[in-house]
């Protein structure tokens, strides 16, 4: 079975995440959407809300599993028996950052990282931009799936 994880904080899930996950579904038998938590990070949305947004967005997709994890992504991959990590690349800055992590993960665990380029129509979207818009009471709805409602 080809199993991958798609890790992130998903605070909140965006249409960029949605696009990458949808495009990844045919590539793997199962994808674990791994919602990371970091005790040192302050989230806008609770873990439950973030997981609920994802669950509602992908309702009916049987090859997707939503799980929470803490710690190293490669440790979570091992726990899930996943051989692949899916990461999206919006630009060259993302590539340089993700490349170092991918090399380290492969060296430490043998787990491969699969990079997907974001679609042109979602490449400008990030969770941090969405959070900024929400914080300033702007209209964020064109940047997130319908499940993300305040």
| Catalytic residue IDs | 17, 41, 90, 127
Give the integer Cα–Cα distance in Å for 71 and 55: 22
Give the single-character DSSP code of 129. Answer: H
Give the integer Cα–Cα distance in Å for 106 and 47: 28
State the Rg of the chain over Cα. Answer: 15
Which two three-digit tokens encode residue 58? 């992908």
Torsions phi, psi of 8, nearest 5? 175, 170
Q: Is the peptide bond before 52 cis (omega within 30 degrees of 0)?
A: no
Q: How far apart are the first and last CA of the chain?
A: 38
């Amino acid at each position: 079975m080809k199993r991958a994880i798609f890790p992130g904080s998903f605070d909140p899930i965006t249409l960029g995440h949605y696009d990458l996950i949808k495009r990844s579904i045919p590539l793997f038998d199962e994808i674990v959407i791994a919602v990371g938590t970091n005790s040192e990070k302050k989230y806008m949305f609770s873990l439950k809300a973030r997981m609920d947004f994802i669950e509602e967005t992908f309702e009916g997709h049987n090859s997707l599993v939503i799980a929470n994890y803490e710690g190293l992504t490669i440790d979570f991959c091992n726990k899930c028996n996943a051989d692949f990590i899916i990461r999206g690349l919006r630009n060259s800055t993302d590539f340089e950052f993700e490349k170092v992590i991918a090399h380290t993960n492969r060296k430490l665990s043998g787990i491969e990282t699969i990079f997907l380029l974001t679609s042109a129509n979602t490449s400008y979207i990030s969770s941090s931009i969405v959070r900024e818009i929400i914080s300033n009471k702007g209209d964020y709805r064109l940047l997130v799936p319908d499940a993300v409602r305040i």
